[in-house]
A and B are shown apart, each in its own frame.
Chain A
Amino acid sequence: MTNMRALPPKFADWFGQNGWSLHPHQQEMLDRAEAPALLLIAPTGGGKTLAGFLPTLVDLAEEPHEGMHTLYISPLKALAADIKRNLTRPVEQMGLPIRIEDRTGDTSQSRRRRQRADPPHILLTTPESLALLTSYDDAARTFRGLKRVVIDEIHALAESKRGDQLMLALTRLQALCPDLKRVGLSATVEDPAAIAHLMARHPDPCEVLLADPGPAPDIQMLRTEEAPPWAGGGAAYSIPAVLDQVRQHKTTLIFHNTRAQAEIFFHNLWLANEDALPIAIHHGSLDRAQRAKVEAAMVRGDLRAIVCTGTLDLGIDWGDVDLIIQIGAPKNVKRLVQRIGRANHRYNAPSKALLVPANRFEVVECVAALEAVLEGALDGDAPGPGPRDVLCQHILITACAGPFDADALFAQIRSAGAYATLSRAAFDACLDFCATGGYALRAYDRWQRLLQRPDGLWQLRDPRSAQRIRMNIGTIQDTDKLKVRMQRKRGGKPLGEIEEGFAATLTKGDTFLIGGQIVRYEGLRETVVEVSRNAAKKPKVATFGGTKFATSTQLSARVQQMFTQEQWPELPPHTAEWLALQREVSQLPQPGELLVESFPHDGAEQTVFYGFAGRNGQQTLGLLLTKRMEDLGLRPLGFVATDYATLIWGLDPVDDPAPLLDSAALHEGLDSWLAGNAVMKRTFRAAATIAGLIERNTPQARKSGRQTTFSSDILYDTLLRYEPDHLMLEITREEALRGLVDFGRIEEMLSRIAGRIEHRRLPRVSPLAAPLLLEMGRVPVEGAAQERMLAEEAARLMEASGLAQLTPPPSNIPRRRDVS
């Protein structure tokens, strides 16, 4: 342990004037300022950010510095702005000669240019903006003299490709500034060593500093007079009880798992808000200006409650929040604890939180999660090796900055934890992909993207490529979103965004919720969804997607264990009775066997497989089973997966599920089964976009709109047909198996049930299956059933419109014929 470093008098005075003293972990961060990499794990409200910046402030106060001294990276733009505000105060009050600026996608062009030429002492930015900065040929000048990099909320970044991209950018910075010290700030995590591994400059270690975790949170399930519904995610039943809680507290954050749920809940809350309490909504689909308004009102303390999603999840200082309400099951114990700990910013006071199950299944899950929290059992999966699509983007970014040496770049990349075991062959494949596309057909020897010069260095062939590459930097894969505006002659008020897929299902006159109000779909003007105000009480369509979390293995097992109990004294009577009813009309899924239920519903044959393999595993099970059913002529139409079960519907009933679940058959040809699938295509689209094969933004598209682009599915199909071993398909399979496919949990399930399948044919939907019918995220099966549906619907449309009766013009009645 190093010696204690005394706080300079100026700082000690400032702390004293504010009546504060240094937390032990803040002192220790100062003491260990020279550690090459240091990870601080501290609870929220513990002055984590100040702990991260203290060595910087002291350094800059004691010694003048030319250029950039410290780079701060946060996952959220809003967080960067927030930190700037919080840092500026002590700097001004102590009169320190420190310039602090932020730089995000929102920063103006001229300011950004100036920042590159004349960087501030402390630059606050995001991983994407950093990646962009490193793509310029003047990066060495911009970062000259850089001593420290502070990565805030690193646990959040570590879970995504944004973190991988950031760590790769750091290897570049480290090459420019060899003495660069790395500091990571993290909330409580189950495995600090895993994050330290990602953060370290390999093979150097990264030390971990654990702060006092503070008192345990006070979490309970909200007890309501009214029972939660059998199904659905709206939790409308809890509105009176939630309003009651809002009245009793200063500021309440009401978290939802999806944006759609947040919208519906807010709408209902507002209808019931007879006292006119100031309540607002905040989520990522809302227009930026609207979000900013809510954030400002909250900082002023004007709001009593905010209905929100994950966008408020990270450590933004939201003032006096004294209650967190989580609507819907938390899905993951770790996220729950972090969400609750994070939003409460009072150090050394227990966080107070209430869980509100949205339906009766979630009551079970909430109780299981509470037990896990009490036992301090956090869950989580070990991170895999660094994704290669991100690596490809990194190579392209490197090329934008100027000629590079492949050996040196390879060595640099291997100093990032996630890529420490990257093989030279894997790197070379990525380099080849970036240079020529990496096709067996050497079509691009003339038009390579990257060229190797006679001196051995690699560079962009066409300097215009740099602009295109920069336009596509980043790893965040939003599904395509369309802006929503009020219809008016000239650009109405922006309301937010909806997914393109959702927009495609709307017909003129449909009503839906956005930003807490009901609007009517009027039409699409270029890429903007135009709507008008609508006074309807209930929206006709209310589903648009949001992020979905998968329930962890641990939580799934806990729920399953609860189903073995004779009685459930820990559950509210309504839920215990519901489980009892399920036991009566069918049975509860038991560990060690697979319950399958079949019943007709909604004009289709439905079959439910209660596999408890987690959302991704159940999703894959859906893919494999529907493919099997398609082959067997059972004409499946689609499926939906939850963390516990997969529901498949189709035109024909499943009489015997056992052959569908044959383990050997499920294993056999997993690749070919998955090849034509929507989930694989979705994964391919994400990977190909990150790797630079698909350009989301092009200079041309800016001019001409989106007509010229063709679907990534075409690229996927073409590659699959002509070059199935291509790197992009390899990456897609890798990604899918790791993420969306999660075949491991299916194998675990199959060995758990060891052939014991309990099939129940029921006259109608069972109590346990009911929630599945309302799940979002249905995956269509494009098979024989789709062709038939299309033909039926076409015939109906021709009849209904009268066109079928028309004799020419415009044509005689078209007839199908086979040309053979």
Chain B
Amino acid sequence: MNGLDFTFAGAALTALGSGALWWPAQSLLCVSDLHLGKSERLARRGGATLPPYETRDTLNRLAADLAATEPRHVVCLGDSFDDLGAAQALPEQERLWIMRLQAGRQWDWIEGNHDPGPVGLGGTHLAELALGPLTFRHIADPAQRAEVSGHYHPKASVYARKRSISRPAFLFDSDRLILPAYGTYTGGLGSGSQVLCGLMQPNACAILTGPQPVVIPMPRRAS
């Protein structure tokens, strides 16, 4: 598992290639926008019956990150479930799996727009979490600083050798850190989009996830 170290608001952090954020000083692992149960929600609403394996796949990757970092504290930064119904409809096997992952550590569910209430799983349900210099909330608040958020599913692209490489990405400047979506069935919003350009300062950077995470100046061109 690879990561990129950086300092944000005085905290020494690591952006993992998986899209998770690791804060060694607090032994804290943060993941955002898991969207567990997305395929169930889609089918429930009369849409396509997508391969029902995204919860399993997301938890597989999360379990690998947990095994590698062994955090004492896990923060799920909102939209952990595609909706409250999806949380309730989780197959027993996957419910138990989540409970096993929670064992022996503090586990905080930050509420998101998709999952605004308690989900009936272990862990603590919070609107937001302040810890040391940082505040964790689902949707960035332009008035706040030292804030870690998710929600936008940011991605960024690099154009190298006549080829555009686009990946989910961390975005950060001196005030704000936005995490990429961790869930398997999640799309992305380009860093060049109006809303992300508006939130982030001109000298913001993007860390592209992948086997070898790389940092670039945040691309502001629409793509």
Contact = CB atoms under 8 A, between A and B. Distances in A.
B221 A719 contact: no
A722 B91 contact: no
B210 interface: yes
Given A443-B52, A791-B212, A818-B2, A808 B158 contact: no
B214 A808 contact: no
Given A508-B221, A810-B173, A819 B1 contact: yes
A429 to B, nearest CB: 14
Interface in A413-430: none
Interface string A507-528: 1100000000000000111000
Interface string A714-746: 110011011100100000000000000000000
Nearest to A698: B47
B56 interface: yes
Interface in B100-128: none
Contacts of B223: 503-504, 524
11 contacts: A439-B49, A443-B39, A449-B43, A462-B46, A464-B46, A707-B153, A721-B53, A726-B51, A790-B210, A798-B217, A816-B212
A798 B216 contact: yes
Given A443-B39, A444-B49, A722-B57, A504 B157 contact: yes
Interface string A781-804: 000001101111111011001010
A820 interface: yes
B51 A722 contact: yes
A669 interface: no
Interface stretch (A63-71, A225-233, A329-337, A687-695): A687-695
Contacts of B164: 504-505
Nearest to B16: A819
Contacts of B4: 814-817
B42 to A, nearest CB: 9
B201 A810 contact: yes
A476 to B, nearest CB: 19
Contacts of B207: 814
A711 B187 contact: yes
Interface in A457-505: 460-465, 468, 503-505
B165 A710 contact: no
A245 interface: no
A15 interface: no
Contacts of A718: 51, 53-54, 57, 184-185
Contacts of B141: none
B30 to A, nearest CB: 15
A214 interface: no
Contacts of B53: 441, 718-719, 721-723
Contacts of B40: 443, 447
Interface in A667-712: 692-695, 698, 706-711
Contact of A447 (B5, B43, B189): B43
B25 interface: no
Given A523-B222, A692-B48, A794-B158, 7 more contacts: A443-B40, A444-B43, A709-B187, A710-B188, A722-B57, A810-B204, A819-B68
Contacts of B208: 790, 794
Interface string B13-36: 011100000100000000000000
B215 interface: yes
A797 B187 contact: no
A794 B216 contact: yes
Nearest to A708: B187
A791 B91 contact: no
B97 interface: no
B174 A809 contact: yes
A240 interface: no
A673 B205 CA distance: 37
- Looking at A444, A461, A693, the one whose CB has the most chain B CB atoms below 10 A away is A444
Given A803-B217, A808-B7, A468 B211 contact: no
A814 B49 CA distance: 42
Nearest to B164: A504
A806 interface: yes
A456 B140 CA distance: 52
B66 to A, nearest CB: 12
A629 B158 CA distance: 25
Contact of A787 (B22, B153, B185, B212): B212
Nearest to B159: A505
A738 B173 CA distance: 51
A464 B44 CA distance: 11
- Looking at B45, B157, B201, B204, the one whose CB has the most chain A CB atoms below 10 A away is B45
B46 A803 contact: no
A787 B212 CA distance: 7
Contact of B1 (A449, A726, A810, A820): A820
A88 interface: no
Contacts of A816: 2-5, 212-213
A192 interface: no
A436 interface: yes
A693 B211 contact: no
A703 to B, nearest CB: 14
Contacts of B68: 819-820
B75 to A, nearest CB: 18
Contacts of A439: 49, 51-52
A694 B165 CA distance: 23
B1 A812 contact: no
Contact of B185 (A446, A714, A801): A714
Nearest to B24: A819
A475 to B, nearest CB: 17
A780 interface: yes
Interface in B155-191: 157-166, 172-174, 184-189
Contacts of A507: 159, 221
A107 interface: no
Contacts of A815: 4-5
A437 interface: yes
Contacts of A706: 187
B214 A791 contact: yes
B172 A811 contact: yes
A810 B44 contact: no
Contacts of A637: 161
A441 B204 CA distance: 44
B213 A447 contact: no
Nearest to A604: B161
A794 B215 contact: yes
A465 B43 CA distance: 10
A803 B51 contact: no
Interface in A223-244: none
Contact of B212 (A692, A709, A790): A790
A698 B41 CA distance: 14
B51 A787 contact: no
Contacts of B130: none
Given A437-B43, A816-B4, A819-B2, A810 B172 contact: yes
A381 B66 CA distance: 55
Contact of B8 (A465, A698, A806, A811): A811
Contact of B160 (A443, A711, A790, A818): A790
B96 interface: no
Nearest to B189: A707
Contacts of B135: none
Interface string A633-644: 000011000000
A524 B43 CA distance: 33
Contact of B50 (A468, A693, A808): A693
Nearest to B2: A818
B48 A695 contact: yes
A449 B43 CA distance: 7
A811 B206 CA distance: 11
Interface string B193-213: 000000001011101101111
B187 A444 contact: no
Contacts of B188: 707, 710
A780 B161 CA distance: 11
A809 B217 contact: no
A440 to B, nearest CB: 10
